Structure 1
């Protein structure tokens, strides 16, 4: 792999500074109350530098979700091959919830969910080209081919049910306060869904 030139390294550092500053501001003030000018000022960058890396402030969320999807892709490679698709989906869901809880936290996730409802924006939640959907689809298809998962629904339909379950669990976590255990609730929810599709 070729080494980064000083210029490319500086550009990556600038992009990361803009990203971290914007997420911090979104978390404190809410997405709608943060301007590009404020992000630029707080990150000590320029408007030109912002638009080199991001087309809009919403793209900052897309960038964060790409990082999350990269985590999903690397996690799935670490799963043992000798376990059932049912167990893989449970482990995948568990790792997802731990990652989102510990790496992003409630404030950022609340802002991400609210921003995902903005009309005319590319909604990353419903983008089926994401690693999240592809991974769940692959695990479901593998389970159907192994005779572990019913085939009365297509792999795509089951994938949509499972990912809807994931989003719903995260949404409830944002609604309910301290007494909501994200990990425990997600496991109960996903086990119920998996029990219904298990052959």
Structure 2
């Protein structure tokens, strides 16, 4: 592995600081009340330095979403191949919500999701982008379930995937609203189990 130069290490540190300070300011002031200039100033760098690493303040939490999705991808090998598709989905969601709850924490999740929702939600929004790793993982499990006749064929892969991912988003948003009154690990299992049971073939 090639060692990074002092300049590259400095650039990495600057990007990390901009990311962390940006998220901190979003939490304190709200996304609309934070500017690129205020993020740069808080890190003692110029606006130009900010734009070396990010194209806009939106990219600050977009970068964090990508990091989170990379964790989801790394979690896949821990799920046994011989399980049913529905069991894989439940295990994946358990790992996801445990990570969000115990590693990232509710305050951080509150910050990035409320910041994301402050923007116009369209087809290009990262929360709805079906090419996102998170959605591709769920879709692969759904396709597996359909192929193995675990799920009803009356619904398409897209329709089943939509229902299953809504369980995830609904759990996260309810966690943001209810905070300590709701455990996302328990809630995701309860909600998704009901939905998956309704999607299974009668022979299951």
TM-score (norm 2): 0.91
In 2, Cα distance between the equivalents of 1:112 and 1:12?
A: 21
Measured after TM superposition, the shift of residue 120 of structure 1 is: 7.2
Please tell me whether residue 196 in structure 1 is matched to residue 198 in structure 2: yes
Contact 1:85 1:142 in 2 (8 A): yes
Measured after TM superposition, the shift of residue 109 of structure 1 is: 2.2
Structure 2: which 5+ residue stretches go unaligned? none
Measured after TM superposition, the shift of residue 65 of structure 1 is: 0.6
Q: Say which SS state the counterpart of residue 127 (structure 2) adopts.
A: helix
**Greater than 6 Å deviation, 4+ residue runs:** none
Contact 1:94 1:186 in 2 (8 A): yes
In 1, Cα distance between the equivalents of 2:103 and 2:32?
A: 23
Indicate the residue corresponding to 2:83 in structure 1: 83
Once the two structures are overlaid, the 10-residue window that deviates more, 109-118 or 46-55, is 109-118
Q: Say which SS state the counterpart of residue 160 (structure 2) adopts.
A: helix
Indicate the residue corresponding to 1:119 in structure 2: 120
TM-score (norm 1): 0.93
Measured after TM superposition, the shift of residue 165 of structure 1 is: 1.3
Please tell me whether residue 60 in structure 1 is matched to residue 57 in structure 2: no
1:150-180 CA deviation, whole Å, 9 max, x = no partner? Answer: 2211111111111111111111111114221
In 2, Cα distance between the equivalents of 1:82 and 1:18?
A: 43
Q: Say which SS state the counterpart of residue 176 (structure 1) adopts.
A: helix
